[in-house]
Structure 1
């Protein structure tokens, strides 16, 4: 599991979306990205469906996830 605390593109606040990790400046949970990709959505679709989430945020999250997967 990635250490999201090291990633500036996401944040976690107790009173925001039940304390889940979200894309910084939004209420969109990071988990929503992985759920949508798993269900066949493209990155472009995800960004279109969730205004406020940027391509650079998505790339940073995916890079963090990939580096964690390779480390394990």
Structure 2
């Protein structure tokens, strides 16, 4: 009989950063010369972002895990 193993977090689990609408975010591996995106909203692991130059009606849907907050 083997001893019980201690509980460990799953290796695939990650902590997602809390991003607020209106915040500026960057994509992981985003080129330095591309300005930050403005976060419109997040829902179900997907986020909608836009560039200010695109206008309010143009946006892009990306996975939440691809974004990082701009400090």
Q: TM-score range by the shorter chain?
A: under 0.3
More helix, by proportion: 1
TM-score (norm 1): 0.22
More strand, by proportion: 2
TM-score (norm 2): 0.22
